């Protein structure tokens, strides 16, 4: 079976992988057509980490870079996949299964999440403020987003 994360790295399709587009869609456990981020991490990201930790680290960092994007508007459209993947990264770190740092991409990730939190607080997002706060707290319990108070 092809490792989809490894394939996405080779094809430079990490954004498609992160968003679950095309062949990178991992249906959720209920069989819906919603991308299951946990499943993509368990089936592909962690498998690559077990075989090639350095390649996995570089791929994860690049994937987060693609999710953050290069404009606030682009990032706003991908904030929830970013938050879901960030939650998986920190759950794996907290569990001791990943040892690598996110490096320079950590700051733009935190800024993007904080900007969405501000939009939620002001009522400018489709998402309730409490929803993003719960997501942030979950990530913080696992050691991430320490920049956000």
Q: Rounded CA gap, 81 and 85, in Å?
A: 6
Q: What is the pTM of this model?
A: 0.93
Q: What is the 3-state secondary structure (H, E, C) of the chain?
A: CCCHHHHHHHHCCHHHHHHCCHHHCCECCCCCCCECHHHHHHHHHHHHHHHCHHHHHHHHHHHHHHHHCCCHHHHHHCHHHHHHHHHHHHHHHHCCCCCCCCHHHHHHHHHHHHHHHHHHHCCCCCCCHHHHHHHHHHHHHCCCCCCCC
Nearest 5°: the CA angle 112, 121, 33 is 60
Neighbours of 64 (CB within 10 A): 22
Q: Give the mean model confidence (pLDDT) for residues 113-130.
A: 92
Task: Give per-residue pLDDT as tens, 35-92.
Answer: 889 989 999 999 999 999 999 999 999 999 999 988 777 788 899 999 999 999 999 9
Token reading at 98 = 């990943």
Quick check: 63 and 102 in contact, CB under 8 A?
A: no
Task: Give per-residue pLDDT as tens, 32-42.
Answer: 777 889 989 99
For the chain, list the domains and their CATH numbers: 4-141 (1.25.40)
């Amino acid at each position: 079976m092809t490792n989809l994360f490894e394939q996405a790295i080779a094809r430079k399709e990490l954004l498609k992988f992160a968003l679950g587009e095309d062949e990178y869609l991992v249906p959720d456990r209920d069989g819906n057509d919603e991308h299951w981020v946990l499943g993509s991490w368990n089936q592909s990201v962690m498998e690559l980490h077990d075989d090639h930790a350095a390649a996995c680290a570089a791929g994860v960092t690049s994937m987060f870079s693609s999710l953050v994007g290069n404009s606030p508007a682009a990032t706003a459209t991908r904030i929830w996949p970013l938050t879901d993947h960030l939650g998986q990264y920190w759950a794996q770190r907290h569990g001791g299964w990943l040892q690598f740092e996110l490096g320079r991409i950590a700051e733009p990730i935190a800024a993007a999440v904080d900007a969405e939190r501000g939009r939620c607080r002001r009522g400018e997002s489709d998402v309730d403020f409490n929803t993003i706060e719960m997501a942030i707290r979950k990530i913080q319990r696992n050691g991430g987003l320490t920049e956000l108070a």
